[in-house]
Amino acid sequence: MPHSDILAAAGLTQAELTGGSLTVTTPVDGSEIARLKTHSTAEAEAQIAAAKNAFKSWRLVPAPRRGELVRLLGEELRREKENLGRLVTLECGKIYQEGLGEVQEMIDICDFAVGLSRQLYGLTIASERPGHAMRESWHPMGTCGIITAFNFPVAPWCWNAALALVCGDPVIWKPSEKTPLTALAVQKICERAMAAFGEDAPEGLIQVLIGERDLGETLTASKDVAIISATGSVPMGKAVAADMSKRLGRTILELGGNNAMIVAPSADLEMALRAIVFSAVGTAGQRCTSLRRLIVHEDIYDALIPRLIKAYEGLPIGDPLADGTLVGPLIDLAALDAMTSALERAKAEGGTVHGGARALADTFADAAYVHPAIAEMPAQTEIMHTETFAPILYVVKYSDLDQAIEMQNEVPQGLSSCIFSTDVRETEYFLSAAGSDCGIANVNIGPSGAEIGGAFGGEKETGGGRESGSDAWKGYMRRQTNTVNYSRELPLAQGIKFDI
């Protein structure tokens, strides 16, 4: 399908795609696909004001009714799954299967949020005083600014927005300047859902800001943006946190990952192999949950690594829209440079690199296709402590599980992790307080590909935020502890006597 057809199928008009200052290129072939108008700071502030106003009424719409909007959004997304999935592929370069998967994740979170809309459970709590009722309620918090990254252009918005909307919060989306088109396409889908929903959805409830970093800063600076949920790099996250600390605003941060897999002697190597390839090479190694470090027991190293190298050699690289492709392009040539220099550093630190060369340069001179790389390292060296957004898999040996876990935990990031082992004593240990220090820890599946039912996020430089399932919705609401005295006495807590 020609690129222009993909854009049109996603509902984007020529008028929208032209005449602006923000050039959007597709990583598929490096060609320009749009020149978008960007929002000014004043427009961003106007959006904030509109959202503030929307909040006044939206917070009073009963949550199950708010859920109905999200249900309609899910229905629209079901309808547009292929169109939007294809646009995701075009704009960020992940293969179409993954583009579809990302939209499916949006649909899943909508379903989940609809159920939540009749819950949003607080607690009733036993009070120590006679004639007193204690409880806690969760109330809407205010506008939620959502900052997303190019590698997951749509799903993280939806993880945040579906919950925020059900929780009573308007949303303003600042997508990556590399992937604004999917944001515009989603905004159109939202508008259809709002139209179907009717007048309870106020002006300014769902908005999108197209442009550069300064728009994000407008959001973090405004006390009328109660929450900033930001997905991206650690430096970006620290900047957001610093800005928000000035006004004690709330953040939900999903930052870097440097995710490892431990492969134990008892592992099913066939399964491990498949899991490694998908999680290291999927999205061309540009997931925050991509597998970056492989910690293999010395006894099985030789049974696994040569097969892995062989599997890498056979991976179909190419147009992510084409059937059969498993490895699409990196986002841009700068990413290719970063990958190249990381591999250089790996070599300098004693590593042996397999793969890693540019691919298809003849066909796609302006696109960044690469052969995924495996770097066999003598130990967990310096470069392995950093996250390079590219398909580089560092491999090291271990001899003892505690040592493997120590390596796993040694890096500053704390997002995802996994172990391949069939020994329950190892797998449970890995999941225990003595095991992985990541927010996600899996057994016999790779570090990527979380379901929306669980809370997503991690500690340390990953930023501490949680999105998606479990009680992540609490991040979008304020908790209020209530004590109601329905007696005609006024007893004090802790038995204090104070008689005037």
Chain positions 392 to 431 lying near its own copies, rule: CB under 8 A, are: 421-425, 427-429, 431
Q: With binding defined as CB under 8 A, does residue 443 bind its own copies?
A: yes
383 Rama class: left (phi>0) / alpha (psi -120 to 50) / beta: alpha
Asked if 323 is part of the footprint of its own copies (rule: CB under 8 A), the reply reads no
**Distance separating alpha carbons of residues 408 and 164, to the nearest angstrom:** 34
Residue 97 within binding range of its own copies, rule CB under 8 A? yes
Q: Interface with its own copies includes 388 (CB under 8 A)?
A: no
Exposure class string for 167-198: b at 16+ Cβ within 10 A, else e: bbbbbbbbbbbbbbbbbbbbbbbbebbbeebe
Strand partners, 144: 171, 227
- Is 254 catalytic? The answer is yes
In this chain, which of 25, 38, 53, 127 binds its own copies, going by CB under 8 A?
127
- Is 63 or 209 the residue whose CB approaches its own copies more closely? 63
* CB atoms near residue 259 (< 10 Å): 32
Question: Shortest Cβ distance from residue 400 to its own copies (Å)?
Answer: 15
Q: CA 265, CA 176: separation in Å to the nearest integer? A: 42
State which residue, 35 or 79, has the beta carbon closest to its own copies.
79
Among 61, 233, 303, 403, binds its own copies (CB under 8 A): 61
Strand 132-140 and strand 32-36: pairing? Answer: unpaired
| Closest by CA position to 396, among listed 256, 263, 269 | 263
Minimum CB separation of residue 184 from its own copies in Å reads 23
Q: Which of residues 450-479 bind its own copies (CB under 8 A)?
A: 450-456, 459-464, 466, 469-470, 478-479
User: Which member of 31, 124, 341, 403 binds its own copies (CB under 8 A)?
Assistant: 124
d(CA 143, CA 52): 7
The residue within the footprint of its own copies, chosen from 1, 242, 303, 348 (CB under 8 A), is 242
Q: Which is nearer to its own copies, 180 or 458 (CB)?
A: 458
Q: Is 354 in the site for its own copies (CB under 8 A)?
A: no
Which residue in 80, 102, 254, 467 is the catalytic one?
254
**Distance in angstroms (rounded) separating the CA atoms of residues 135 and 171:** 28
Q: Say whether 91 sits in a helix, a strand or coil.
A: helix
Q: Is 105 in the site for its own copies (CB under 8 A)?
A: yes
CA–CA gap between residue 286 and residue 154 (Å, rounded): 15
Residues 271-300 that bind its own copies (CB under 8 A): 271, 273-275, 277-278, 282
497 binds its own copies (CB under 8 A): yes
The reply to whether 385 sits near its own copies by the rule CB under 8 A is no
| Interaction residues for its own copies, span 133-152 (CB under 8 A) | 133-141
241 binds its own copies (CB under 8 A): yes
Among 20, 30, 101, 202, binds its own copies (CB under 8 A): 101
Which lies closer to its own copies via its Cβ, residue 209 or residue 286? 286
Provide the 3-class DSSP secondary structure of residue 176: coil
Pick 46 or 443: Cβ nearer its own copies? 443
Closer to its own copies by CB, 21 or 483: give it: 483
297: three-class secondary structure by DSSP = strand
Q: Is 379 in the site for its own copies (CB under 8 A)?
A: no
Q: How many CB atoms lie within 10 A of CB 217?
A: 16
Smallest gap from residue 431 Cβ to its own copies (A): 5
Site for its own copies in 181-240 (CB under 8 A): 234, 237-238
132 forms part of the interface with its own copies (CB under 8 A): yes
| Furthest CA-CA distance within the chain | 89
- Contact call for residue 76 and its own copies (CB under 8 A): no
Nearest residue (CB) to its own copies, 3 versus 94: 94
Our CA dihedral for 334, 340, 344, 345, rounded to 10 degrees, sits at 50
Q: How far is the CB of 469 from its own copies (least distance, A)?
A: 6
CB crowding 47-82: b at 16 or more within 10 Å, else e: bbebbbbbbeebbebebeebbbbbbbbbbbbeebbe
Closest Cα partner for 263 from 286, 250, 279? Answer: 279
Of the candidates 100, 131, 36, 112, the one whose C-alpha atom is nearest the C-alpha of residue 74 is 112
Burial of 158 per CB tally in 10 Å (0-12, 13-18, 19+) = buried
What span, in angstroms and rounded, lies between the C-alpha atoms of 280 and 293? 9
Among 8, 196, 315, 360, which residue interacts with its own copies (rule: CB under 8 A)? 315
Closer residue to its own copies, CB minimum distance, 35 or 118? 118
Residues 243-272 that bind its own copies (CB under 8 A): 244-246, 248, 250, 253, 255, 268, 271
Its sign, for the CA torsion 384, 388, 394, 399, is positive
Would you count residue 23 as binding its own copies (CB under 8 A)? no
Nearer to its own copies, 211 or 464 (CB): 464
Question: How is residue 325 written in tokens?
Answer: 């492709």
In the bound complex, what is the minimum distance in angstroms from residue 185's beta carbon to its own copies?
19
> Which amino acids are annotated catalytic?
254
